[in-house]
Structure 1
C-alpha cells in the first residue's frame, strides 16, 4: 500500500487506471481472468402495483471488467437505480441474466444473497445518514462490518479500520461520531465502511448528490483511490458531470436499456504529454437494435420509420418521409 504522501500527490487518471488494473489482476489471480466481472444480458425488471405493470429494465445488456471504475448516467426513471439495486443484491430481476463475480443474481438463495451482500459487494447511499450509525465513531463504524462477519480479531479490525480511513483521506476523523463530521467526511467514511470486508465490487448511488462541487470531488477521489489501491471494481450512478467526466467509461441508460457509452483513453501528444481522448459510441445489442441520440432524432425530425442504406463502411439513416424536403435534396445522418 502506498504512503499518505504518495496518495496526496493526486495522480492522473491514466496512472490510477494502470494501478487499478494491476491490483485487479492480482486479486483475480492473473490478467486472463479480468473480463466479465459483472455481466447483464437481456436484463428485465417489472414492478407490479395494484394491477399496473411498470417495466423499469427492458432487456438491458452490460459487461463491466474486473477493476473498472465505471459511471452510469441517465434521466430520472431511466432504470439506473433499479440496475444498481439488482447488482447489489437489494432487488431481484424479473428475467434475463445478471451475474456478479460468479454469483447468479436471478437464482440466488436467501442465504447466498446475505453472504453476497456481506462479503462480495459494498454499497454507499446518497443520503449520508444511511451509511453510518450515529452513536458509533468513524473507526467503530468501519469495524462493525468486520465484526459482524467474524473474520478478524479486535486488534486487527481496529488496525484495518484506521488504514482504510487513512486511505480515503479522513484518518483524522477516526474518533469522531457522524454528527461531528461534514457531509463530505461522512461520505468518505462511508466508502471505508463499504470496503471493510474487502469486497470485489463497490456500488455507489449518487454519492456526491448532496454535496457541493469541491466536496464531491473529494468523495470521488476516495472512490478513485479505493479502485486504484485495492483493485475493487467501482460502479457509480450519478448525475454529476464532474464525476462522469473523470472515469474511463461512462454508460448512459435510456428507457431501461443501455443507449450509449463514452470511453476515455490516454494518448501521448506530440510534445510527450499525456492527454485524455473521449469517444462516444451508440450501444448495439445482440439483436441489432440501437438508440439514436435524441439530438440526432430532433435535428432530422425522425419519426416512426426511417430509411437505412448500407454503404461499404457505414450505415446511412434517413427520414422515411419528409414533406419539407424538396426533390433532389438529401437530409441524412450516418450511424
Structure 2
C-alpha cells in the first residue's frame, strides 16, 4: 500500500440519517450523525444499545445505505457505488471483524486457510506469505494449522483480525470485537488492534458498548440517540516532577447548525430539563439550569 493510498484512508460522515420501517412504524436509527476519522487514527465508538452504533458500522462497511446524508471512506463516496463497485469496496477497501466467531471464521478451515480463502476471493497474490506475516503480527502463528474450536476466544479474535487484514484494507472496522471475552482477554485483543494500527497504519474504528476500550485508544466518540454527542481525547502529560500521566479531556460535538448534546450525567446532576439559560461571555458560553417560575420572578423585579 502506497503512502498516498494510506493518506486517503479517512472516514467522513455528514448529517447521516437512517430510517427503518417495519409494520408501518418508522424508527430513526441515525438522526443527523456527523463523524470524522482521519487516516491512521484508532477511534472507539461507544454508546448504549440502540444508540445507532451498529447501524453506522453497517453503512461504513457497505452492507447498508443511509436514508439521507453524505458518507465517504478512503475517498470513495458510498452513495455513488454501483453493486459491482460495492463488492470491490468490501473486498479491498475495508476489513471487518465481527463479535461472533462463526461470522469471522469458517469452522472447518484452519487459521491459515481462513486467511487464504479471503485473499482468494479478492484474487490477492502471495497468500501463504501474507498469511504467515499476519499470524506473526497478531502473535497467533502457533494457531496456523488449528481450526476455531482448537483455539481460545482471544486467539479466535486475533485470527479474525488477521482475516480482516488479509487484503491490505485501508480501513479496519470492528463490531463489538471483545463482546464475548473476559476482561483480561479483551485487553489483549484491544492491544493487538492497537499494535496493528501502529505497525500497519490502517485506520481503525472499533464499535463497542464496553467503556474499558477507552483505555486503549486516544479518541473515544460517544453516540446517543443516533447522533455523535461527546468525544474524549487522551494524551500523555508530564507533571512538574517530570512524571508522565494520561490526560483525558471531554468535548461536546457541534453539528453544522450549532447543536450539541450535553452528557446525561451533567443534565441529571444539575436538574436541567426542557430549556437552559445561556450567556455569551468573552471566551466561553455559559449554560445554567432554568427552574420553573424564574421568568415570573424576573418580571416582578
Question: Shared fold by TM > 0.5?
Answer: yes
1:72 and 1:303 map into 2 onto residues whose CA distance is 26
Deviation string for 1:16-60 (max 9, x for gaps)? xxxxxxxx9x63368xx46x8100001110101121110000011
1:267 positional shift = 2.5
1:266 and 1:73 map into 2 onto residues whose CA distance is 22
1:87 positional shift = 0.5
Query: What SS does structure 1 have at the residue aligned with 2:216?
Result: coil
Query: What SS does structure 2 have at the residue aligned with 1:245?
Result: helix
Query: What SS does structure 1 have at the residue aligned with 2:50?
Result: coil
Partner of 1:21: none
- 8 Å Cα contact 1:238/1:244 also seen in 2: no
Which among 148, 155, 162 is matched to residue 185 of structure 1? 155
1:322 positional shift = 3.3
- 8 Å Cα contact 1:305/1:320 also seen in 2: yes
Asked whether 1:297 is paired with 2:273, we answer no
Deviation string for 1:156-204 (max 9, x for gaps)? 2111101101101101000111111111111000000000000000000
1:324 and 1:169 map into 2 onto residues whose CA distance is 63
Where in structure 1 are there 5+ consecutive unaligned residues? 1-23, 329-335
Deviation string for 1:119-138 (max 9, x for gaps)? 00000001112100011110
Which among 133, 137, 143 is matched to residue 167 of structure 1? 137
Structure 1 residues 124 and 76, CA, compared in 2 at 3 Å: closer, same or farther? same
Asked whether 1:255 is paired with 2:225, we answer yes
Deviation string for 1:93-137 (max 9, x for gaps)? 111001001111122111111000000000000111210001111
Partner of 1:88: 61
Which among 96, 119, 123 is matched to residue 123 of structure 1? 96
1:111 and 1:273 map into 2 onto residues whose CA distance is 54
1:293 and 1:241 map into 2 onto residues whose CA distance is 15
Deviation string for 1:199-227 (max 9, x for gaps)? 00000000001000111111112211110
1:300 and 1:65 map into 2 onto residues whose CA distance is 35
Q: Please report the RMSD computed on the Cα atoms of aligned residues, expressed in angstroms.
A: 2.0
- 8 Å Cα contact 1:208/1:219 also seen in 2: yes
2:292 and 2:226 map into 1 onto residues whose CA distance is 30
Asked whether 1:241 is paired with 2:174, we answer no
Partner of 1:46: 19
Which among 48, 58, 64 is matched to residue 31 of structure 2? 58
TM-score, normalization by structure 2: 0.94
Where in structure 2 are there 5+ consecutive unaligned residues? none
Partner of 2:4: 28
